[in-house]
Structures are given as structure tokens and as C-alpha cells.
Chain A
Amino acid sequence: MSTPAKKNPDENIEQKKVRKNDKWKKHSPKVAMILSIVFAGFGQLYNRRYLKGTIFIIMELAFLVAFLESINYGLWGLRTLGTIPGTDHSIRLLVLGVLSLIVTVIVITLYVFNVIDAKKQAEKLRDGWKPLKLRASFKEFYDRAFPYIMTFPGLLLMIFVVIFPLLFSVLLAFTNYDLYNSPPRNLVDWVGFDNFKNLVTVPIWQDTFISVFSWTIVWTVVATTLQIALGFFLAVLVNDPRVKFKKLIRTILILPWAVPAFVTILVFSAMFNDDFGAINRDIIIPLLGGNGVSWLSDPLYTRIAIVMIQTWLGFPFIFALITGILQSISKDWYEAADMDGASRFQKFRNITFPHVMFATAPLLIMQYASNFNNFNVIYLFNEGGPPIRGQNAGGTDILISWVYKLTFDTNNYSMAAVISIIMGLIVSGFAFYQFRKTRSFKEEGEI
């Protein structure tokens, strides 16, 4: 672009500027786009962003050399789940396949970014924008990339700990992976929606599913409501101005929350033992006579015991939470109500209750969601038992503990995956509805 200059220096510079602009006028975003589609970084070279272009080229070369083959293999494995029994390990292939899928999505995202970047920069250059100096463009890059840099380590971890296992288990629901079809001896195959069909048509699955599902709902509603009601009730009682030793009482009431639940459930499980548990031996038999209640072998009593235990475990959190809210309600409200001659119940209904609900609704609703998935209580107390005839789940099994048994006891992985998906959809649908109502969804970001 430099031309021999025979005029005086000033004019020379003028002309150069004009020519430079002319030159950029013909710069075509389309060419930049096509070039960067052909090979990442070429478009940037065309835009004369040499450093950026080189980085993209190196990245693509590295990808082609290092990953292409294994990704190809992974995607092949995902499609076929292996072809030679005994040699191809279907589940390992599935894992590799899901990982390849994730890497592919990341690479495609980068590639799209590269194309858009080339096109945008070419447009800007054509419109007379002058590229920044190296330092300034680093600064600009840093500003723009900062939130991505901040979230990157977390995102990477979440992709492997949350997304990857989830994809894997969703895919399992469409295979016939169980005890009889398991690698390395046999291959696993894609079976489409067969597992979902079996769940609603094969009698044993259908019966078990319906009874486990309905108990799960009863359990969630009853146990959670009880713990909230008890916590609320006690918080209001202790908050009464006439009660003394408030601090001590509160500390005692919070105690069940402070002791690891894992320990207390196992302790309860020993205490409720039919034959030599403390509840039967020290309380029921001396008081009521007889042979004691069969807490662990009669489904009805086991259910009652579990609901009571969960109430014991869960009310202190609610109690503490609501105590905090009660203390923050202004006294003026109650004084005004007293002036109007409101009864105690009216004050509770119209002042206390709305205040508490407004402040704690999201956390209370999360309590329901967490009890729906409360594996620990069910499994540690009695491993979901007692067993019930004609079903492959125990009398107190909720969906999550049933899934655990299907996975680790009977190795019926594909059915476990189907039930996991159904549960996930229920809980996340519920939670989605909840999140929609919280405020920060509507709030706008700045900067």
C-alpha cells in the first residue's frame, strides 16, 4: 500500500490516510466470515488481527491433532454403544460419548464465536474504525471477558459434576442396561421409549410405581407440613413476652438441628427396634403392656415412625427461621391492633401469619422439595422397608430410595434412570414455578 512519495511530507501523510480508508472500504465482512468458517483464525488474519488470528489457528490445530480422533470414536460409541460383545464396553463408550458431546458443543460455541468476531470486526473496519493499539485492545478484551473469566472455573466444574452425570443418566433411560444386559459380557442397546412404556404397562412396575409415588406425595406433604406447623407454633409460644429464659429455651429447641442428622437417624433406628429397642422396652410395654409396636416390620407403623422422626429433625430449622422473623415485626402493628380491640387469633391471622409467610415462603417451599428427595431418613432408618409382597419396593420407600435400590441392589439401571427423570421433572417444575416468582428474576444487571 505504500507508494513512492514525491511531494512534501505533509501532503504525503494526508494521501496515505485517504488511501488507507479507501483500502478498508473494500474490506468485506462476507470474505472474513467465509475465511473463518474455512479455518478458525483466517478471518482474523484477513482483518489484520494477526495475534488473535494466530491464537485461533493454534487452537484449531491443537484440537484437530489432539481431540478429533477420540471425539469421533466417542460419538461413534454414543451412536452404536459398541458392536463386539466382550470387547466393546457399552457403558464406558456411553461415558466417552457424553464427554465427546460436551467437548463438541464447547468447540462449536468457540467456532461460532470466531466467525461472529471476524464478521463484526470486518464490518467495523469497513466503517472506518481504527484498530486499537495492542495494549488498549488487551484492556478492552479483559473488560469484556472479565465475567467469563470469573465464572469459568465454576462453570467447568459444574459441567462435569452436574451436566455430564445428568446427560448420562437421561441417556441411560433409553437403553436396556440392567443386570442381564451389562458389560463387559454383553452389549447395551438403545431401546427408545420401551422403559417408559414398561413402567406404565407391566403390572409389577405399574403397581410399585403407583404405590411408591402416592406414598412419596403423602410423605412430602405430611412430614413437611408437620415440621413447619410445629416450628411455627413453638416459635410463637416462645416469643410470648411472658416467657422467661428465652435464650436457653431457644438453644434447647435448636439442638436437633445441631446434631448431625446422620447420627440421629441411626440412633432412632436402634431405638425403634422391634425386639430390643428403647421405645418398645422402656415406653410402650411398661405403659401400654403387650408385646410392643412392630415399628420396623409393619408398614403403617414404620411410616408413622418416620414422619415423627422427620418432624423431630426438621422443626428446629423452621423454629429458628420464624423466631428471627417474629422478632423483626414491628411492635406498632400489635399496638394498633390492641387499640382496635383485636383478639389474639385475629392478631395472629392478620399480622403474624402474613409477615412470616411473606419473608419465608421460598425457604418453606424448598423444605417441601428437599423432603421429596429426602433419601437419608428413609434409607438410614429402615432401608425403605419393610418389604411388601407383589412389589419391588419396600413399604416406606419413596421414589429416591427406590431409585437407589434399583441402582445399587438390583442393578436395574435403565428403570432407575426413567424414574429419576420423572422425579426430576416434578421437582424442577415445582421449583421453576417458585423461582419465577422471586424478585431477582426481573432485576436488571448493570455494567
Chain B
Amino acid sequence: MNRKQKSRMELAFIYIIIAVVAIIIFYPLVWTVGMSFNQSTSLYSSSLIPENFSLDHYKWLFSPDSDYLVWYKNSLIVSIANAIGSVVLTSLVAYAFSRYKFVGRKNGLYIFLLLQMFPVMMAMVALYIFLNMLGLLDTLSGLILIYLGGQIPFNAWLVKGYFDTIPRELDEAARIDGAGHLRVFWSVMLPLAKPILAVVALFNFMTPLFDFLLPSIVLSSEENYTLAVGLYNFINDQFSNNFTRFAAGSVLVAVPIAAVYLFLQRYLISGLAAGGTKG
């Protein structure tokens, strides 16, 4: 076997592996989509390629019987508020940690990061009672507050790592020109840190969409549900009966998210790598 043949063999082998992986990746995804177009509502009779193609489940989601659109709206409210709030809060914290000396600067962030490693289940009990005391139980604002507080340590650590790579000469020059603390932050740091701030915004936009544990504890009335809780309840109540409905609802969530992810993945990776490894 000469060299060229060997190379061709190898290449074929590589393509085969990739093809197998691709099939394994697509199988559950295609199955879900197929399920959502199935006319029947049960898992028993449904098959990969629907025999009776129908849009019934999608129509049902948008009918007045379902709260799906309300959940979608709730999820968007939480996600947008969380994305904006997290960028504001984290960049302020990261700025202080990256450029100033103060009590707790050296270990403060790390202490919070370590504290967050403790599992949150018990904390949920405490947060439940606390939100109840504040009258924020079963509200979206209570949920947003918890997300906002919980995301700070990790994201501040990421953003601080990125800020640290911005040369100090830049803000010193701005200071010599008479810029104040906030001016430096606004006109020097923020514009240069756009990539990592985009990553933070995106992560915090996504977290509430994926999370079901916390909202299922905080939110109790159906008109306040976020998508994850609502969809989970489709199959949690009567598993085999509503699975196709769950599939349809999931497709409508997953498609836009997947599109955004695939579109932005390059920035996500480079941002993570830059902040994470230098932090």
C-alpha cells in the first residue's frame, strides 16, 4: 500500500467516524421534531417519521387553552432583565476588582466562588422563606433577583480576567487627561471589553431559559411559569399523554436558541477562553 492510498484510507476512516457521530447527534433531535408533528398524543403509537403529519400540537400551543405564549413572555422578561442586570452589576464589580485596591480585593471574589460550590438545594428552602417575607414569592422579580445575585461571582471573575488584559497605560492616560473614575470605566474599559460583556449577557440570557429547578420552587401559579417549568409540567403530569405537546413546545424554544448559539459560538469560545484562562 503506497502512501497516497494510506492517506485516503485514513481520510475515509475520519469521515466514517464523523458520520457516525453526526447520526448519533441528529437521532434524538430528529426524533423530537418528528414527534411534534405526530397526530396522536401518546408515545406508544408514534414513530420517527410521522404517519399522520399534523400541526395540531403547534396550533394547540397558540390556542387560548394553553398558557404557552404567557410562559414565553415570562421567560423573555426574566432572560432580558437578567442579561442587562448582570452586565451592569458584574462589570461594576469587575472594574473595582481589576483596577482598585480595597479591603477584600485579593480574596473576596474567590471566597464567593468557593461558597457557591456548596449545593443550592438547602439554600432553596432559605430563599423560599426569605422571598416570602419580602412578598416576592411567585413573582418574576424575585426570581430575577436570585439569578442576578447568584451569577456575580463567576461572571465577575470572567470579566475581571478580561479587564486585567487591558493595558493599564490606557486608563492612566485617560486619568491624566482628567477623566474621573466613572469616565474611565465608561469610555475606556467598557468599549474594550465588549466581547466578554457579550458573553456574559448571552450566558445570563440563556440560564433562565434552561433552568427549571429554581423557578419550579419560586413560581407557583401557572400564569407566572417560565418555559422550562411549564414544559416540564406537560410531561410530569401525565407522561405519555402530553409528550408530543412537550415536543412541539420544545422545538419552538430550541430552534431560536440553537440558532443564536451557532451564530455566536465563535465569540462565546474566544471570550470564555480569554477570560477563563487568564482569570
A interface residues with partner B (beta carbon < 8 Å): 91-92, 95, 98-99, 142-143, 146-148, 150-151, 153-155, 157-158, 160-166, 168-169, 172, 234, 237-238, 240, 242-243, 249, 251-264, 266-268, 270-271, 273, 276-278, 282, 312, 320-321, 323-325, 359-360, 362-363, 369, 373, 375-376, 380, 399-400, 403-404, 407-408, 413, 416-417, 420-421, 423-424, 427-428, 431-432, 435, 438-441, 443, 445-447
Contact = CB atoms under 8 A, between A and B. Distances in A.
Contact of B129 (A95, A254, A262, A416): A95
A404 B121 contact: yes
Interface of B: 7, 10-11, 14-15, 17-18, 21-22, 24-26, 28-29, 31-32, 43-44, 48, 89-90, 92-93, 95-102, 105-106, 108, 110, 112-127, 129-130, 133, 145-146, 148-150, 152-153, 156, 160-161, 164, 168, 181, 209-213, 228, 231-232, 235, 239-240, 243, 246-247, 250, 253-254, 257-258, 261-262, 265, 268-270, 272-273, 276-279
A385 to B, nearest CB: 14
14 contacts: A98-B126, A147-B102, A147-B105, A150-B95, A157-B89, A157-B148, A162-B112, A165-B124, A169-B125, A238-B18, A260-B254, A324-B269, A435-B114, A445-B98
Closest 3 CB pairs of A and B: A161-B149, A424-B118, A165-B123
Contact of A168 (B14, B113, B125, B277): B125
Nearest to A234: B21
B113 A435 contact: yes
B264 to A, nearest CB: 10
B123 A169 contact: yes
A158 B153 contact: yes
Given A312-B28, A360-B273, 9 more contacts: A92-B129, A153-B92, A165-B127, A169-B122, A242-B14, A257-B261, A321-B273, A399-B119, A413-B122
Nearest to B146: A161
B90 A154 contact: yes
Contacts of A142: 181
B210 to A, nearest CB: 5
Contact of A447 (B99, B106, B272): B99
Contact of A264 (B21, B28, B156): B28
Given A242-B7, A431-B113, A154 B123 contact: no
A260 B276 contact: no
A353 B161 CA distance: 24
Interface class of chain B by DSSP: helix
A288 B203 CA distance: 43
B168 to A, nearest CB: 6
A146 B175 CA distance: 15
Nearest to B276: A363
Nearest to B44: A276
A17 B143 CA distance: 62
Contacts of B278: 439-440
A157 B25 contact: no
